[in-house]
Amino acid sequence: MASTVLVVTALEDVTADWVIAALNEREVPVARVDPADIGPGLTFGARIDAGASAWTGQLVTGSREVELGEVAAVYYRRPTPYAARYQHLSAQQRDFTTAEARHGLGGVLNHLHGAFYVNHPGAVTAADFKPAQLQTAAQLGLTVPPTLVTNDAEAASKFAADHGHVIYKTFRGLPRDEDGHTGAIWAQRVDPDTFDDSLAVTAHLFQAEIPKTGDVRVTVVGRRVFAQQVAAPDGALDWRRGDWDALLHAPIGVPAAIKAALHSYLTAFGLVFGCFDFALTGDGNAAEDWVFIECNPNGQWGWLPDAGDITEAFADILNPEGGGAR
């Protein structure tokens, strides 16, 4: 019977370290791999023969040899992009080798027969689009902010006139610059008087500002739900933009109707884990107080006060012998 948990992530990943430590304590076989290490430090041979129904072979890192057929679960965290492995090559060579590695090694790792994925990268990709998130949440009965996705200045101006205070958000984070540095554009209020034809260059996401009483991060792992109310000391519109060590946290109960919708949301996208953000418009006791903002299907949770309990929840669903609910 397959028993190994394969953790797919970058070398420096404290969150994955915690889950691996929890699995080690349970004496679960664990192997960690960053696919972008492909080369002398990561070799593999996957084979499927006539009459066979699954890939067999080995994945060999500097410290582990993994039989592909022994992988029972895959914790897909945050591996290094394949392109980082080939930065020294010309653009054409880099694009070619990156695509070959992603479709070859990635194609094998993403289709291990019988393996339980948390989460499958294909499901993460599908669930990463904010328009899909908002529509799915609304279809499941969750309240969503009035939202406009557009590249039309006239449409943006009309939306602002209809809703008053308007917030702009990016669909994705800023990519790395030429020096490898990353940045962020936080959710921010926008002045409709600044709308002009430059909006036509790309897509923009505008939302009506919610008169919120607070923010909540809900982490769902399998059937377990963890919720923390989060506040920035300076009352910032977007609590992510400040010092995360200074954030104020308080546990909060999640109404049964919201819990049911979250489980249905994950099922709709083929996920078993997600980090949900909500804005509250009341004390949070009623389902109508909860306004869905987004769900990160591969979100960070190590900074939360209940990270220890979340770690154990991950170990439960990844451990094929542990009896954790999946």
Closest CA to 104 of 131, 124, 85: 85
- Architecture per CATH, domain 4-118, reads as 3-Layer(aba) Sandwich (3.40)
Contact 15, 302 (CB under 8 A): yes
Sorted by where each begins, the domain ranges of the chain are 4-118, 147-208, 211-301
CA 245 to chain CA centroid, nearest Å: 21
Predicted model pTM: 0.91
pLDDT value at residue 95: 94
pLDDT value at residue 53: 87
Strand partners, 46: 57
Helices (H), 63-146: 91-109, 121-127, 130-139
Tens-of-pLDDT digits for all 326 residues of the chain?
Answer: 668 999 999 988 999 999 999 999 999 999 999 999 999 999 999 999 988 889 899 999 988 899 999 999 999 999 999 998 998 999 999 999 999 999 999 999 999 999 999 999 999 999 999 999 999 999 999 999 999 999 999 999 999 999 989 999 988 877 666 665 666 777 888 888 899 999 999 999 999 999 988 899 999 999 999 999 988 776 667 767 666 677 788 999 999 999 999 999 999 999 999 999 999 998 889 999 999 999 999 999 998 999 999 999 999 999 866 544 55
Q: How far is CA 87 from CA 70, 96, 146, 179, in A?
A: 33, 12, 42, 12
C-alpha to C-alpha distance for 107 and 103, rounded to whole angstroms? 5
What element of type H or E holds 275? strand 273-280
Closest CA to 108 of 228, 4, 221, 8: 8
Closest CA to 139 of 268, 285, 318, 305: 268
Contact 83, 14 (CB under 8 A): no
What element of type H or E holds 142? none
pLDDT value at residue 179: 62
CATH class name, domain 211-301: alpha beta
pLDDT value at residue 189: 86
What the block records as the tokens of 277 is: 């953000």
Contact 31, 91 (CB under 8 A): no
pLDDT value at residue 64: 87
C-alpha to C-alpha distance for 156 and 161, rounded to whole angstroms? 9
